[in-house]
Structure 1
Amino acid sequence: MRGSVNLSVVAALVAACFALAGCETSSSLNTSSGGAIAAAMTRSYPSALPSEYRKQEVSDPTGEAPGTIVIDTATKHLYLVEPNGRALRYGVGVGREGFGWTGEAVVGAKQEWPDWVPPPEMLQRRPDLPLRMAGGPENPLGARALYLHRNGRDTLFRIHGTNEPHTIGQAMSSGCIRMINFDVEDLYARTPVGARVVVR
C-alpha cells in the first residue's frame, strides 16, 4: 500500500486535514514519490540547514530535570535534558503565528512510521479522503511520532518527523513540532512514554 499512495491526494489531504489534527505541512510538498523518499531516508542534514539546527550537546539552558523535553518555540530548538547540566539540542519546525501553543504535556504514546487517520468530523466534510494513510516515507508525519497527552487525553499535538527538512527552523505548522527524520528517531529511542514535555 505504501508504494501506491498518490502524492496529489497526499497534497490535498495535508492542506485540508492536518490543521484539525494539530499538524500541518507546508504547501510545497514533494511532487514525486522519489523526492519524498529521498527526503525521508537521507541520513545527513541538508547543506542549507544552519549549524544551530543540527543535533549537538550543549550546556542545559532550561533548568528542568533530566529526561524532560523542552521546546523553545522562539529559537526553534528542542532540548532533551541530560544529567550534569547538559542537554541534547535539536532543530525543529514549530507552529506558525496563531497556531503555536505553550504549556506542559507528557509523551502519552509513541509510534514508528505512524499512520494518519482523518477524524470522523473531517470525513463528514471530506468523504473523498481515505480512512487511513499508511505510514512510510511519503507520509508527512515522518519516521517517528511522539503523541503529547495532557490530563490523560490526547492533545492532538505531536513531535514527529518530516519529509520536508527545509522547514526546520521555520514556523510553518499548525502547532506540531517537526524534526529531521533521523533526529526524531534519535529522540524517540531516548524518550520513554511518560516523559514530561514543556513547550515555551
Structure 2
Amino acid sequence: MRYNGLTRRRLLLTGAAAGVAGMAEAASTRHNLSSFRAVRWQEHFDTLRNGAILADTQSRALHYWSEDESFYKVYPTSVPISEELTKRGYTEVVRKVEGPTWTPTPSMRERDPSLPPVIPAGPENPLGTHALYLSWQYYRIHGTHDTRKIGRPSSDGCIGLYNEMIAELYQLATVGTQVRLI
C-alpha cells in the first residue's frame, strides 16, 4: 500500500521514530513529534551513502535516515536566533566528540567579551554531552543541558537536540554522514 509516496513500512518506521523520540522527551511535553510531517530523503539527497541528516530550521526538526533505510528518526531541535546566523546547504559530519569542550567563536567573543575562552565538558557546557562537527567551521549538531532551548530560537547557528537524542544520533551517524540544512 502506498500513501503520498510512502510505503506502509516507511509509515510504520516514521510512527515508530516519533514514538521513540516522544518517549525520550517524556520529561518535557512542549513538543508533539507526531505533528512533524514525514519527509522523503529523495527530496534532498541523491543517495543514502553514509546515511543522511536533514535539519529543517522552519519546522525545528532533524530527520535521520540510515544508509540501508532501516532507521528513520525525527528529533525536535533548537534553531538559530536569527536567520543570518545559519548557513543553508550541504555539508557532512567530519568529527564526532563525546564530552565536547566549547570555544566561543570570534564573533561571539566580540559581542560578549566576558565569555570564557573555553568551557570544558560538563553541565555548564552549551554543547551538551555529544557533538557532531560539520565541515563548515563553527557549525555543530549537538546536545544541550538547557532543555528550554529545544523548539526555540537559541543558537548562534548550530542545531541543538536534547542530550538523550544527540546521544542516540551520535551512535547512528558516522564520520561522512551527509547533512543538509534548510
Normalised by the length of structure 1, the TM-score is 0.64
**DSSP 3-state at the match of 1:188:** helix
- Structure 1 residues 44 and 85 mapped into 2: Cα distance closer, same or farther (>3 Å)? closer
Residue 19 of structure 1 is matched in structure 2 by none
In the alignment, the residues of structure 2 paired with residue 175 and residue 114 of structure 1 have an alpha-carbon distance, to the nearest angstrom, of: 17
- Given that 1:46 and 1:166 are in contact with CA atoms closer than 8 Å, whether structure 2 keeps it comes out as no
| 1:114 aligned to which of 96, 100, 103 | 100
Matched residue type, 1:71: A
Residue 41 of structure 2 is matched in structure 1 by 62
Matches within 5 A, 1:17-166: 44-52=25-33, 60-63=39-42, 64=45, 65-66=47-48, 67-82=51-66, 83-84=68-69, 87-98=72-83, 99-118=85-104, 130-149=116-135, 154-166=136-148
Q: What displacement does 1:90 show? A: 0.7
In the alignment, the residues of structure 2 paired with residue 121 and residue 170 of structure 1 have an alpha-carbon distance, to the nearest angstrom, of: 21
Q: What displacement does 1:115 show? A: 0.7
Matched residue type, 2:127: L
Q: Percent identity?
A: 32
In the alignment, the residues of structure 1 paired with residue 57 and residue 151 of structure 2 have an alpha-carbon distance, to the nearest angstrom, of: 10
- Structure 1: segments with no counterpart, 5+ residues: 1-42
Residue 8 of structure 2 is matched in structure 1 by none
Number of paired residues? Answer: 152
Q: What displacement does 1:125 show? A: 9.2
Matched residue type, 2:86: G
In the alignment, the residues of structure 2 paired with residue 167 and residue 79 of structure 1 have an alpha-carbon distance, to the nearest angstrom, of: 18
In the alignment, the residues of structure 2 paired with residue 180 and residue 100 of structure 1 have an alpha-carbon distance, to the nearest angstrom, of: 19
In the alignment, the residues of structure 1 paired with residue 54 and residue 111 of structure 2 have an alpha-carbon distance, to the nearest angstrom, of: 36
- Given that 2:55 and 2:181 are in contact with CA atoms closer than 8 Å, whether structure 1 keeps it comes out as yes
- Given that 1:53 and 1:90 are in contact with CA atoms closer than 8 Å, whether structure 2 keeps it comes out as no
**DSSP 3-state at the match of 1:155:** coil
- Structure 1 residues 132 and 48 mapped into 2: Cα distance closer, same or farther (>3 Å)? same
Q: What displacement does 1:162 show? A: 0.5
Any idea what the Cα deviations from partners look like across 1:157-194, whole Å, max 9, x if unmatched?
A: 10010011122122221210000001000001111111
**DSSP 3-state at the match of 1:192:** coil
- Given that 1:53 and 1:169 are in contact with CA atoms closer than 8 Å, whether structure 2 keeps it comes out as no
RMSD: 3.0
